[in-house]
Structure 1
Amino acid sequence: MIEKVNPSHPDKVADRIAGAIVDLAYAKEDNPKIAVEVLIGHGVCHAIIETTADLDKTEIISAVHRIAGVMDTGIVIVPQDKHLSNNQKDGIRCGDNGIFKGMPLTQEQEELSLIARDIYGRCPYDGKYIMDGVRLIICQSNVETADLKKLYSGAEINPLGDWTGGTDVDTGATNRKLGSDMADSVTGGGLHGKDLSKADVSVNVYAFLKAQKTKQPVQLCCAIGDDIIDGKPYAEIVAIAREYIQNLGGFEKFAEWGLY
């Protein structure tokens, strides 16, 4: 059983905004330290940002409007805690504590990911999709249900009828759809709104990629300040995650669908 939500779901809109802000930090510094939380809904977007980078509020507001439409914004930017900053002063070291799990994707998970992308390509509006064995549930806003029935005749589509979604009728928050982003690899750490020194990003990405390669579960743990994880220098873990996210187009693009 698995659920996917698309990039226009309010929680994913929040993730995408957080990712865009992280992209702005990386445009200012090669290895910025940043953590972003976004809450959005009903015409308002709040973002709290802890960072070493010198960010411009006008650029952040522009990113919010580009992703979510014109709305009121409340942007708070504060320096990163000095103890966390000191952890990184002599090189790239693990930025937080955590346990992490990478799991090979199942055929069902891969299939639903393709279905979600296909539907979103046709209907780029708020939607969520569930697959449980042979049962496929499609909840897609701003579409004629009968049209989707022609494409997915065996699916349960919009059980309560046609609907309008998005941030005008619902709220979204960063890292609230980790099941959609990570499938069975979900642990305690969120993927979005953080720089690569944070194990929530780099070790999660690394564990997921290793699990896809080995087709075996991967379990890792780390503590703030660690410089070796899974027998590799932490800087190498970060480099692997950086390449993966860069190949997707950056943190905002990574936030659209998560790991798969």
Structure 2
Amino acid sequence: MIEKVNPSHPDKVADRIAGAIVDLAYTKAINPRIAVEVLIGHKNCKIIIESSEEFTIEEIEPIVFRIAGKMAIECIMAKQDEHLAKNQHKHIRCGDNGIFKGVPLTKNEKIISSIAKCIYERYEYDGKYILTDDKFICCQSNAKNEELERYLKEIFIDRKVIVNPLGEWTGGTDVDTGATNRKLGSDMAQSVTGGGLHGKDLSKADVSVNIYAFLKAQETGKVVELCCAIGDDTIDGKPYTEIVEIARNYINKIGGFEKFAEWGLY
């Protein structure tokens, strides 16, 4: 049993805004330090940015308006804590404490990811999907039930299909609020750990070690479990800088942190 949401779900909108701000930080420095939290809903967007880099509201507004539409923005910007900054002063070391798990994707997890992307290609609205061994549940804002049911039966015919149990609805950030890192199951499947993937730079283990553990699990077909303490320079027998570069290559390959936020790791 697995749940997946698409890039227009309010929580994913928040993740995408946070990711776009991290992308902006990487245009200002090769290795910026940044953590972004976003809460969005009902024509308001609240953003907190802790970073080594400086931003202006004129840089932040276009990001929010492009991803979420025009709304009121409240943005708090602060410098990174001096103790955390010292941790990365001479070279990149593990930026936080954490436990991490990578798990090979199951057949159902691959199926729901593929179906979610097919639906979103056709209906670019807020959607949430659940897949079990005998049914597929779909809540898809703004798509007409009858049309959506017909399409789902075309692309997905081996299980019972349930569409919008409460009837047609509009969804979006005026119906539901969104917050960063609130859809970790959708982002990581069974690889869910203690830290969120989005709104953070690559020095954060929540980003780099989670990506590394996930990729290693897919490659080896085995569960990968790791832990680290802030300041560690070696994890899983590898220099932390090497793990960061593996994650950097992955992020660059998919098109940046905002693109990463759209679907997570799968």
Q: Structure 1 residue 92: deviation in Å? A: 0.6
Is 1:139 aligned with 2:139? yes
CA distance in 2, matches of 1:152, 1:127: 13
Q: Specify which of 184, 196, 205 is matched with residue 199 of structure 1.
A: 205
Is 1:211 aligned with 2:211? no
Q: Which amino acid aligns with 1:22?
A: V
Q: Structure 1 residue 152: deviation in Å? A: 2.1
Q: Structure 1 residue 101: deviation in Å? A: 0.2
Is 1:233 aligned with 2:243? no
Q: Which amino acid aligns with 2:165?
A: P
What is residue 2 of structure 1 aligned with on the other side?
2
CA distance in 1, matches of 2:152, 2:85: 51
Q: 3-state DSSP class of the match of 1:152? A: helix
% of aligned pairs identical? 68
Q: Which amino acid aligns with 1:54?
A: E
CA distance in 1, matches of 2:244, 2:134: 39
CA distance in 2, matches of 1:95, 1:127: 34
Counterparts of 1:30-109 in structure 2, within 5 Å, are: 30-109=30-109
Greater mean deviation of Cα atoms: 174-183 or 52-61: 52-61
Q: 3-state DSSP class of the match of 1:224? A: coil
What is residue 26 of structure 2 aligned with on the other side?
26
Q: Structure 1 residue 57: deviation in Å? A: 1.8
CA distance in 1, matches of 2:60, 2:242: 30
Is 1:161 aligned with 2:134? no
Q: Structure 1 residue 151: deviation in Å? A: 2.1
Q: Structure 1 residue 160: deviation in Å? A: 1.1
Q: Which amino acid aligns with 1:149?
A: E
CA distance in 1, matches of 2:43, 2:213: 37
Q: Which amino acid aligns with 1:217?
A: V
What is the CA RMSD across the aligned residues, in angstroms?
0.7
Stretches of structure 2 lacking an aligned partner (at least 5 in a row): 154-159
Q: Structure 1 residue 157: deviation in Å? A: 0.7
What is residue 156 of structure 2 aligned with on the other side?
none
Q: 3-state DSSP class of the match of 1:155? A: strand
What is residue 113 of structure 1 aligned with on the other side?
113
CA distance in 1, matches of 2:83, 2:99: 22
Q: 3-state DSSP class of the match of 2:173? A: coil
What is residue 248 of structure 1 aligned with on the other side?
254
CA distance in 2, matches of 1:248, 1:9: 20
CA distance in 1, matches of 2:144, 2:26: 41
Q: Which amino acid aligns with 1:172?
A: G
CA distance in 2, matches of 1:120, 1:93: 38
Q: Structure 1 residue 169: deviation in Å? A: 1.4
Q: Which amino acid aligns with 2:263?
A: W
